[in-house]
Amino acid sequence: MTVHPISPVFDKESRVLILGSFPSVKSREVMFYYGHPQNRFWRVLGTVLGCDFPDGAEERRELLLKNKVALWDVIASCEITGSSDSSVRNVVPNDISEIIGNGNIRAIFVNGKCAEKYYRKYIKPTTEIECVTLPSTSPANAAFSYEKLCEHWSEISEKLK
């Protein structure tokens, strides 16, 4: 069983929550979200928020909080081979109630189909909050160009207005 090692990023000003599935091997190594250099998450988020591309965990944390975005993952622990979402088994979900209870969350977005699957199965029944599924920013999602990702992910900036 691999346990999620990274704390959620949020504060009382958070308006939007983005949930991934589970940190990649690279993210677990660097101890921050979307740590693989080929993952397009930070580039896409920076673009849709109208910010510079953040470099490093502290700059990324500041970008999130400054823009009222909370970030965590759906899965607290699981069996996983490498970073492959398709290999995820024996899921234990994260409890997002602290984020919901201490922020002013207007919308929950999930990054990709794996996060959506486990959100709907484990978290939605307790929160009763619907999520918006965005296309995965993973380099494995070759079907979506950077421009197409930005087009879909721009929905986040609409919810922050």
Nearest to 153 by CA among 112, 95, 101, 99: 112
The pLDDT, as a whole number, for residue 140 is: 85
Domains of the chain: 2-159 (3.40.470.10)
The pLDDT, as a whole number, for residue 84 is: 85
What pTM does this model have? 0.96
Which tokens sit at 105?
């969350």
Active-site annotation holder among 39, 67, 94, 111: 39
The pLDDT, as a whole number, for residue 139 is: 86
The pLDDT, as a whole number, for residue 52 is: 86
The pLDDT, as a whole number, for residue 145 is: 94
The pLDDT, as a whole number, for residue 142 is: 84
Give yes or no for a contact between 10 and 68, defined as CB atoms under 8 angstroms apart.
no
136 pLDDT band, cuts 50/70/90, is very high
pLDDT at 103 over 80: no
The pLDDT, as a whole number, for residue 33 is: 96
- Using N-to-C axis directions, what is the helix angle for 41-49 and 146-153, rounded to 10°? 50
The pLDDT, as a whole number, for residue 82 is: 87
Say whether 39 is catalytic: yes
Please report, rounded to a whole number, the percentage of residues in the chain having pLDDT higher than 70. 100
